[in-house]
Amino acid sequence: MFIVGLTGGLATGKSTVLSIFRDNGVAVIDADEVARQVLEPGTKAWKELRNYFGEEVLYSDGRVNRLKLGELIFNDIEKRRKLNAITHPKIQTAMMKMAVKYFFSGHKYIVMEVPLLFETGKMLNFMHKIITVVCEDYQQLERLCKRSDFTEKVAMKRINCQMPLEQKVANSHFVIDNSGDFANTRRQTESIIRLLRRSKFSWYFRAIFLITLMACLFGVTHLYVSLIQNKT
């Protein structure tokens, strides 16, 4: 099995592309969904977040007020770093555990949506291929304003906090242009799916895994036999 990283900018259409992969029977891991699980009331990350940011970033039922939290961290670099320190390691661990489960379930490949894949660089080494979703600048701004009820000034500030799309594109294997209609985005995505399905890398990876596993089992068996012989 190999991992395909899916990234892009804010409001460029990553979730739309991820849904197309899912509709085509591809196993997917959504970083946003994992982040919500990691910050569910009562979890370790939730307790750390509450202790640092206080009750003001929580709703009355204990759920994290993501809009309020976003306002705090985008206006304070240190708070943003603290949030990343609290959540990113736990999110990455949870995503890799899910990937391992998919591996043992026999999936040829999975798509892992990681918005800050290039910005953090923490998971780049696990990605066999990288897809970046883009759209026109004005569309990204309009979509973000509409989706999050931001002013243009606030939306631009959020967009500029991330790596420019041009840099992400330059370091990607595939690019999906989500500037057009859904049918066009689907055609591009399904074209990539056909290419990924033809890849033989997953068999190479499984062969290496099995060889490594057999070597470990042989080593353990040899050690066990040696210990028995020494006792006798």
> Rounded distance, CA 194 to CA 171, Å?
21
> Rounded distance, CA 92 to CA 101, Å?
14
Determine the pLDDT at residue 219: 53
Domains of the chain: 2-34+94-199 (3.40.50.300)
The neighbouring-strand residues paired with 133 are 8, 176
Segment-wise mean pLDDT, segments of 10 residues, the chain, 232 residues: 94 97 97 94 96 94 92 88 93 92 90 94 92 97 94 92 95 97 98 91 48 51 51 55
> Rounded distance, CA 121 to CA 18, Å?
21
Determine the pLDDT at residue 131: 98
Q: Is 18 left (phi over 0), alpha (psi -120 to 50) or beta?
A: alpha
Pairing of strands 27-30, 109-113: parallel
The C-alpha torsion from 40 through 33 and 70 to 120, rounded to 10°, is: 110
Q: H helices within 43-173, ranges in order?
A: 44-53, 66-73, 77-104, 117-120, 137-148, 152-160, 165-170
Q: Based on the number of CB atoms within 10 Å of its own CB, is 116 exposed (0-12), middle (13-18) or buried (19 or more)?
A: middle
Determine the pLDDT at residue 210: 44
> Rounded distance, CA 133 to CA 9, Å?
7
Determine the pLDDT at residue 228: 56
Residue type, 212: T
User: Three-class SS of residue 221?
Assistant: helix
Determine the pLDDT at residue 13: 96
Determine the pLDDT at residue 224: 47
Determine the pLDDT at residue 222: 45
pTM, full prediction: 0.83
Determine the pLDDT at residue 175: 98
Own/partner contacts of 89-93, CB < 8 Å, gap of 24 or more, are 90/38, 90/44, 90/45, 91/31, 91/34, 91/35, 91/38, 92/122, 92/123
